[in-house]
Amino acid sequence: MFIQRCKNCSKEFQWKTIINSIWSGYKPIECDNCKSKHYPKFIYRFIVALSIALPIFFSQFLYGIFKTYLFIILAYIIWVLVVVSIAPFYFRYYIKD
Ligand SMILES: [Zn+2]
Domain boundaries, the chain: 15-94
* Res 59: pLDDT: 86
For residue 40, list its beta bridge partners: 93
* Res 16: pLDDT: 96
What span, in angstroms and rounded, lies between the C-alpha atoms of 67 and 53?
Answer: 20
Q: Which amino acid is at 40?
A: P
- On whether the CB atoms of residues 91 and 18 are closer than 8 A, the answer is yes
What spacing in Å lies between the alpha carbon of 27 and ligand 1's midpoint?
Answer: 17
Segments of the chain assigned E as strands = 29-30, 37-40, 93-94
**pTM of the shown model:** 0.85
* Res 97: pLDDT: 80
What spacing in Å lies between the alpha carbon of 51 and ligand 1's midpoint?
Answer: 29
What spacing in Å lies between the alpha carbon of 10 and ligand 1's midpoint?
Answer: 6
Q: Is the pLDDT of residue 19 over 80?
A: yes
Q: What is the number of H-type helices and E-type strands within the chain?
A: 4, 3
